[in-house]
A and B are shown apart, each in its own frame.
Chain A
Amino acid sequence: MKIINIISQIKDGLNKSRKDLADKLEWLFRYSTNKSDFLERLEKLLILSDVGILATSEIMSKFEQINFKEYRENNFIFFKEKLKDILIDILNSNASKFNVYKDRLNIIMIVGVNGSGKTSIAGKIAYRLKKESNDILLIPADTFRAAGIQQLKILADQSGVEMINTKEGADPASVVYDGISAAQARKKNVIIVDTAGRLHTKINLMNELEKTKRVIQNEAREFSLEILQVIDATMGQNAIFQAKSFNESLGVTGIVLTKMDGTAKGGIVVAIKKELNIPVKLISLGEKLNNLYNFEANKFVEALLD
């Protein structure tokens, strides 16, 4: 797919949030009467995008030195570019791509709090990797949520991907154990593990996740492990705590930002990036299986601000 296409698709999906934010930015340019007025408007814009008070103050501090008159005369183009640069800088540090290797086993573990969209993401990743001609096995390690397994099964069928079967209430670590042996026996090159949603404050459930990871490390041979944390773009500052806890327990290798097709700005990724520096790898913009994109900071910010 051509890059231009991807940008326009993301723009399409982001249309609602983009329009809103771009309007406000325009307004910010035109109607700020003095520097403090301007800074207040900028603060409002960032806070309303869920960037959070800490990251917002830091971004604002970079504007405190500006010559307001000069910026105004230049129609604020400089300002816009500066804001873009700051955001891209934050999002780009430690950037790394979502990638699978053909020459070894790739294990992708999907984690997150309840309702963030893990199962849908598992389905979308399966769909995409299948199209890129990988041999995939889905493991439904969400044996807790009623019908969680069925939901994944439906998505697996839609993507034409195999799923190992299990029963509700089964021990997730042993489901993963079985799944890994099955995948290795069948010479699969990708395993996607859909885990149960859990609040990061539930120590027992976090321990269970750590155990699942240990099983993977003990059982799999020559593999690369990707631990993706799914974060809902409509979430507020608590998502920082979510990311922190999951990262401490598991060592998260990437973030997947979901529900970006609404009006929420997803500024929470800026806050998380600032705080934890975990790369954002994928972004999801709708309910269809193909609504999954690589996260690219400049395109994301560009789509948001232009």
Chain B
Amino acid sequence: MFANLTDKFQIIFKKIKNKGKLNENDIKNCLHEIRIALLEADVNYKVVKEFISDLYSQVQKEKISESLTPTQQIIKIVNKEITKILGSKQNDIIINSNPPTIILLAGLQGTGKTTTAVKLAHYCREKGHKPLLIATDIHRPAAIEQLQVLGEKSNLPVFSMGRNENAVNIIKAAIKYSNKKDIDILIIDTAGRLHIDDKLMSELQGIERNIPLQEKLLIVDSMAGQDAINSAKIFCDKIKLSGIILTKLDGDSRGGVALSLKKVLGIPIKFIGLGEKIDDFQSFYPERMASRILGMGDVLTLIDKVESAYNEKELKILDKKIKNHNFDLNDFYFQLKKMKNIGSVNQIMDMIPGFNNIKNNINFNKLSNEGNELKKIEAILSSMTIEERENPYIINGSRRKRIAQGSGTQIQEVNRILKQFYQLKEILKKGPIIKNISFH
């Protein structure tokens, strides 16, 4: 149902390919697809509207209609614009020069505050700090126990006073405690609450008034829908938020809420949560999020990497060689090295839409073997002489034996590589592959 935006663009551009240039209508069609993609990703309706009209003027300015690679151009502009909105310089925790640094975590029910609190404490510990977790969720049954158990498992100290003390008193006592224990970061886990629950919202304001907070972070579920900006706005009005942590990004949600929040609130997204393990926690990268919202994986990074791996001249030479049917093992060897520059199979899969999930779920021995396989092929190729690579047909039995020995492989494997190469040549004879895999 959520077709990838790149695919949709391909369809539009296929229709207009013969016309050469894009007209106004073509561009409008593209913008329409982008609009749908953003709405499907749960970017807020009003944010989408504004974004599309900004984009329209941007597309006009950059003269897309005269470009030879319009798909790529438009995707790049969209991505650039989204990244610009999502981006921010300040995405780490602000540490108080005069400890302790006190961090408040707040949010709706079920967004992942407690799990995030523990992850954040672990993150701070890894950076050489001594964090203390403070359990102030006196409302949800067993919430304090949840934090205690998680803290214990990860060897992180948790401060709690049961359910009969109010949040401000608990935090004050925790600060006193931390002074004695040489603790420099305090992380407050609060109860989940509805933004329209006045009683609980004033509890948060009470904490803000009475405790010197360095960071006030809103925990947001990446699967959230259109209402997310309404609730976040109220949290921001009541306690001036300093940042956002986006959770549950290990699922397949497109996370459009990131764009809405950043655009409407203007506060940085600092971290993302990616799973149930304590270190499934990362800094926020605007570029990656932009591609995810558009449903394109990290295709852009892939485009960039492929572009930087090949220059125009090399591509032309390669194209010519294939056309003239004199693609040889030297070229094959050269290609292999290029591929290594682009990244490992694992990294490439990370960048392709949809593959991330597949990767998480299948046994990856097979693909890491593929990495070894590439190494093996490289070793075999590099054990050949230049002459052999130019004209593989001269590789006879004794040469095969030498190559196998030189590369530390078996003769059968040398045979297999040669056979694969001949097959590839047959395929290349049938038509240009490069055209089909290019990005326009």
Contacts and interface: CB of A to CB of B under 8 A. Distances in A.
Interface hub of B227, B248, B251, B361 (most chain A Cβ within 10 A):
B227
A6 interface: no
Contacts of A135: none
Given A16-B196, A115-B221, A154-B142, A234 B149 contact: no
Contacts of B254: 237-238
Contacts of A114: 110, 112, 248
Interface string B349-387: 000000001001100000000000000000000000000
A86 interface: no
Interface string B220-236: 01011111101100000
Contacts of B228: 234, 236
Contacts of B357: 201
Contact of A236 (B143, B146, B150, B256): B256
A2 to B, nearest CB: 28
Contacts of A22: none
B251 A113 contact: yes
A225 interface: no
A305 to B, nearest CB: 18
B298 interface: no
A34 interface: no
Interface string B130-148: 0000000001111101111
B139 to A, nearest CB: 8
A154 B145 CA distance: 12
B361 A204 contact: yes
Nearest to A206: B361
Secondary structure of the B side of the interface? loop
B425 interface: no
Interface residues of B, number: 50
Contacts of A265: 226-227
A235 B225 contact: yes
Interface string B237-279: 0000000000010111110110000000000000000001000
B194 interface: yes
Contact of B226 (A47, A150, A151, A261): A47
B279 to A, nearest CB: 17
Contacts of A287: 139
A234 B231 contact: yes
A231 to B, nearest CB: 10
A268 B225 CA distance: 9
Contact of A264 (B143, B146, B225, B257): B225
Contact of A53 (B39, B110, B148, B221): B39
Given A150-B145, A201-B252, A240-B1, A264 B112 contact: no
Contacts of B139: 287
Given A47-B39, A146-B153, A54 B1 contact: yes
Nearest to B111: A115
Given A116-B110, A237-B42, A241-B252, A262 B227 contact: yes
B142 A48 contact: no
Most buried by A among B142, B194, B230: B142
A98 B166 CA distance: 39
B225 to A, nearest CB: 3
B1 to A, nearest CB: 7
Nearest to A150: B142
B309 interface: no
Contacts of A264: 225-227, 231
B67 to A, nearest CB: 28
Contacts of A145: 146
B45 A44 contact: yes
A147 interface: yes
A16 B194 CA distance: 11
Interface string A93-118: 00000000000000000000111110
Contact of B360 (A44, A151, A201, A237): A201
Contact of B141 (A49, A115, A155): A155
Contacts of B2: 237
Interface string B169-183: 000000000000000
Contacts of B153: 146
Nearest to B140: A151
A236 B149 contact: no
Contacts of B194: 259, 261-262
Contacts of A69: none
B82 interface: no
Given A114-B248, A240-B1, A261-B194, A147 B40 contact: no
Contacts of A288: none
Contacts of A116: 110
A199 B42 CA distance: 18
Which 8 pairs of residues, A with B, have the shortest CB-CB distance?
A: A115-B110, A236-B225, A236-B42, A146-B149, A151-B142, A264-B227, A154-B141, A147-B145
28 contacts: A114-B110, A114-B248, A115-B112, A146-B149, A146-B153, A147-B148, A148-B142, A150-B141, A150-B142, A150-B145, A153-B142, A199-B250, A201-B252, A201-B360, A234-B224, A235-B221, A235-B223, A236-B225, A236-B256, A239-B223, A259-B108, A259-B109, A262-B194, A262-B195, A264-B225, A265-B226, A265-B227, A287-B139
